[in-house]
Structures are given as structure tokens and as C-alpha cells.
């Protein structure tokens, strides 16, 4: 019977002090984003979901930025700087002070494995609760070349054998080391302290803890995780693979929950994207951070959303852009080549074509014609445009903020509106039309003469 894991204390040590040289980047690799979020933040989130409240961050490069990226309201973290790089066991001991506080369980994870979920972390802790001293998280793979093999016999993990040191029989093993492990917190410092560096690089490898524990009469086991979850990142190419895998996982989860995606492989989500049931996402849609789409909404192709809230049964695009602060009411519509920024569009209102609406409030059931813009910026400050309910804004209208258009008002097409318009009024903000009979002939003759003169000069 499994002991009660929830009554055991746990410290997670996140190793994130690498120089990230293979990323060829000006910043630490764990700061590179997956789904618009630093990869280390994904790791911390998985730890929090596993019920782990204390984290020790072992950092080096960009320590302050990494610490900020790892902040999570559900956990308390401490920072420990690794000044030398002498192997993974040496890296863990950089957090000696935190480990020495005394925890039942110690988890060792990496800051560059953003696909990890809480399930294998919980399974590893349950192994400790059942009496193991060391629990290694492994994975099955079709091609184990290059990975350390988990040598398991009768449920016991005997050793982790590196590929170069493995026999032909051992190389046939497809159960491989994922790098993450759990250690009995009461024995961790003693076990890690016994790891030697008698190897070609003179480094202290955490994988040696399995044989150290067994030599001390302890017990080591392995628990399996999906190979995908243990995918690490060292290069930009590997970062792109992780992004693809994350997107596939999240799209699948959303579709299982009732979201329709016509071509899911062309839809890109952020870590916090929320989409309600019966919403439809057409091909080639990109969600930046901070987007919520309510039930029944349709996001048409080639739209880009960020920091926006889309109400139930609303319709967006195609080729629409919702910028931060866009808030669309139920049943509203934002159409082709329309941009909404920091603006509320009321229930049932329509902004269908070729318009820019920024710093504005549009009432329910108002129609905004093609080519309408809110002139919200005077070169220094932003100003608000307010449009009431059931209003009609004619095509090619410029609304010069600050300005208010009342409920039920009409704005004539082609107007430049610089003053408030009362409820139910009709506003004309354009010059009176004049027709000059025959003038077009004279203009054409003049223009042709200019063109002919240019051709003559060119000879």
C-alpha cells in the first residue's frame, strides 16, 4: 500500500545554471519562451500542480531575470548561485543550505524541460513514500542511442549505464534515464556527498547516486514518464521541437474539451489561452498571451489576438487583429482587416471592414462602417471615443477624440467628427459637394501635356 505522500514535505531543486552556449543567445536558455512563457516558468508550474511549495533555484547566468521568470504565487523559492560547473551532483549541492533544512523528499529537475507534467513528479514522490531511497524518472524510446540505460531487475534499479559504457546487451535496453529524480530528503546530503569524480571529466554525476545508495543498503527504483515530457532544450532547433510538442498537446486538450479547430496544426496558442466549448477556430490563427474566447465564438482565418476577451457567439475576422484591452461583447462582430485596441465593443455591435478602433467604447448594436478610425492620439496623449447604443457610423469616418456620439445617432459617410453628437442626431462633418462642368476634360489635357513634355525631355 502506498504511503500518504500528501503528509510528506518536499523541496524541489531546479538546475538552471548552464551557460546555454549551444543556444547562441544573449540570454539564459531557460528564459527562452515556449507558448509565450519562459520555459522555466512551465517547470515551476508543473511543480506547483504536484503540490510542491518549496523550490531551490540553482542559477548562474542571468540569475535575477531567471528568478523573476520563475516566480509563482503557489511556491516559495530561494536562489543559490553555482559558481563552478563540476557536474550535476555538484550543482545540486549548490542548494545545500536549502536541502539541510530537512525535507522528507527531494526532487531534482531541470529548468529546460518545459513539457514535464505533475504526473511523473507525483509518481516519483510516491516511490519515496513507499520506502525507496532514490527514484529515477525514465522513459521508453524506440531509439535509445546516446541515452543512459536504466538497468532494472525484479523491480529494482541497479544502475544507470551511460551509452558509451554499456555492453551490447545493455545497449538493447530501451528504458532510458530522463535525468529527473527524487531522493530521500533525510539521506540526500549524505548520498550526494559520497558521489565521486573518478571519470574522464573529473565531474560529479548525480546518476551515480543509484549505485551509491545501493552500496549503502538502500533501494533505488525507476518510474516511467512519456518521452515527450522529458524533452530537454539545448539549441534553437530543439526549442522549436518543444514548441511544436506543446502546441500539439494543448490543441488536443482543447478539442477534447469541445473546441473546434478546422486545421489545428495551423493554430498557435499561448500558455494562458482560454477557449470555451463550441467555439470554432479556423486555420492560421495566432493567440498571444491573455486571450479568453467564450462559448460559441468564431475566430476566422488569419486573425491575431492578444490581451483580448471575446464574448459568447462573437465573430472575429478573417484578417482581424485584437490588441491588448480589446473586449468584445456577446454576439458582436469584428471583420476583415479591422484592428481593435483597448476598446469595448458592445453586444451585437459590428465593426466589419478596414477600421481602427482604439481607446473607445462602442454601445450595443451599433454599426461601424468600413474605413472608420478613432483618432485617439494627439502625438503626446491618448483620448477616448464614446459611441452609444444603436448608432450608425458611416463609412470613411474619422472620430477625433475626445468625442462622444450619442445613442441612436447617425454619422454621414466621409465625415470628420470633432464635436459631440447628441442622441438621435445626424452629423455631417464634410465639405459641401460642388460639380465643375467640363473641368475634367481640361485636367486630362493638362496632365497629358505634362506627360508628353517629360517624354520629349527624356529623348
Residue 94, C-beta contacts closer than 8 angstroms, at least 6 positions apart: 17, 58, 80, 81, 82
Strand partners, 411: 393, 427
Give me the torsion for CA of 255, 113, 34, 234, rounded to 10°: -130
Instruction: Give the span between the Cα atoms of 113 and 39, in whole angstroms.
Output: 7
For residue 74, which of 53, 56, 43 has the smallest C-alpha distance? 53
For residue 351, which of 385, 378, 377, 306 has the smallest C-alpha distance? 385
> Which candidate in 163, 353, 365, 383 is catalytic?
353
Residue 244, C-beta contacts closer than 8 angstroms, at least 6 positions apart: none
Relative to beta strand 367-368, strand 385-387 is: unpaired
Residue 226, C-beta contacts closer than 8 angstroms, at least 6 positions apart: 139
Please state the separation of Cα 307 from the chain's center in Å: 13
Could you write out the DSSP letters of every residue in 123-175? Answer: HHHHHHHTT-SEEEEEEE-S--TTSPEEEEETTEEEEEE-GGG--HHHHT--E
Does the bond joining 419 to the residue before it have cis omega, within 30 degrees of 0? no
Q: Tell me the longest C-alpha to C-alpha distance in the chain.
A: 107
- The dihedrals phi and psi of 372, each to the nearest 5 degrees, come to -80, 140
Q: Decide if 430 contacts 416 (C-beta within 8 A).
A: yes
Query: In the chain, what is the straight-line distance between the N-terminal and C-terminal CA atoms, in Å?
Result: 99
Q: Decide if 116 contacts 223 (C-beta within 8 A).
A: no
Q: Decide if 343 contacts 361 (C-beta within 8 A).
A: yes
Q: Is 32 annotated in the active site?
A: no
For residue 307, which of 325, 284, 320, 319 has the smallest C-alpha distance? 325
**Residues classed as catalytic:** 353
Amino acid at each position: 500500500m502506498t504511503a500518504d505522500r500528501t503528509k510528506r514535505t518536499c523541496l524541489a531543486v531546479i538546475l538552471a545554471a548552464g551557460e546555454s552556449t549551444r543556444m547562441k543567445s544573449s540570454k539564459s536558455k531557460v528564459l527562452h519562451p515556449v507558448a509565450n512563457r519562459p520555459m522555466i516558468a512551465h517547470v515551476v508550474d508543473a511543480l506547483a500542480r504536484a503540490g510542491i511549495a518549496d523550490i531551490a533555484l540553482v542559477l548562474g547566468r542571468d540569475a535575477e531575470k531567471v528568478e523573476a521568470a520563475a516566480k509563482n504565487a503557489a511556491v516559495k523559492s530561494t536562489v543559490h548561485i553555482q559558481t563552478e560547473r563540476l557536474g550535476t551532483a555538484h550543482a545540486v549541492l549548490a542548494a545545500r543550505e536549502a536541502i539541510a533544512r530537512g525535507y522528507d523528499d527531494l526532487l531534482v529537475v531541470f529548468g529546460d524541460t518545459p513539457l514535464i507534467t505533475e504526473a511523473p513528479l507525483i509518481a516519483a514522490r510516491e516511490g519515496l513514500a513507499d520506502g525507496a531511497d532514490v527514484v529515477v524518472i525514465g522513459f521508453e524510446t524506440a531509439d535509445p542511442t546516446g541515452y543512459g540505460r536504466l538497468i532494472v531487475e525484479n523491480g529494482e534499479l541497479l544502475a544507470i549505464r551511460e551509452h558509451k559504457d554499456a555492453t551490447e546487451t545493455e545497449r538493447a535496453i530501451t528504458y532510458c534515464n530522463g535525468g529527473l529524480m527524487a531522493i530521500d530528503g533525510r539521506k540526500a546530503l549524505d548520498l550526494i556527498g559520497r558521489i565521486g569524480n573518478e571519470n574522464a571529466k573529473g565531474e560529479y554525476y548525480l546518476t551515480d547516486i543509484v549505485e551509491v545508495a545501493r552500496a549503502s543498503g538502500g533501494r533505488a527504483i525507476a518510474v516511467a514518464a512519456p518521452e515527450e515530457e522529458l524533452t530537454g532544450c539545448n539549441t534553437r532547433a530543439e526549442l522549436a521541437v518543444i514548441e511544436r510538442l506543446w502546441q500539439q498537446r494543448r490543441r488536443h486538450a482543447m478539442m477534447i474539451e469541445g473546441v473546434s479547430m478546422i486545421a489545428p496544426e495551423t493554430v498557435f496558442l499561448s500558455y494562458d489561452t482560454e477557449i470555451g466549448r463550441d467555439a470554432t477556430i479556423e486555420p492560421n490563427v495566432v493567440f498571444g498571451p491573455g486571450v479568453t474566447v467564450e462559448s460559441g465564438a468564431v475566430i476566422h482565418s488569419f486573425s491575431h489576438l492578444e490581451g483580448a476577451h471575446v464574448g459568447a457567439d462573437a465573430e472575429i475576422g478573417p484578417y482581424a487583429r485584437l490588441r491588448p484591452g480589446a473586449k468584445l461583447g456577446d454576439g458582436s462582430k469584428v471583420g476583415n482587416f479591422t484592428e481593435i485596441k483597448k476598446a469595448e465593443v458592445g453586444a451585437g455591435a459590428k465593426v466589419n471592414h478596414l477600421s481602427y478602433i482604439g481607446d473607445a467604447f462602442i454601445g450595443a448594436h451599433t454599426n461601424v462602417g468600413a474605413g472608420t478610425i478613432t483618432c485617439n492620439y494627439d502625438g503626446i496623449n491618448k483620448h477616448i471615443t464614446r459611441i452609444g447604443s444603436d448608432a450608425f457610423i458611416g463609412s470613411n469616418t474619422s472620430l477625433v477624440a475626445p468625442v462622444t456620439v450619442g445613442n441612436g445617432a447617425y454619422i454621414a459617410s466621409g465625415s470628420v467628427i470633432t464635436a459631440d453628437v447628441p442622441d438621435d442626431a445626424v452629423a455631417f462633418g464634410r465639405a459641401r459637394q460642388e460639380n465643375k462642368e467640363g473641368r475634367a476634360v481640361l485636367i486630362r489635357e493638362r496632365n497629358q501635356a505634362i506627360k508628353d513634355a517629360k517624354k520629349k525631355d527624356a529623348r
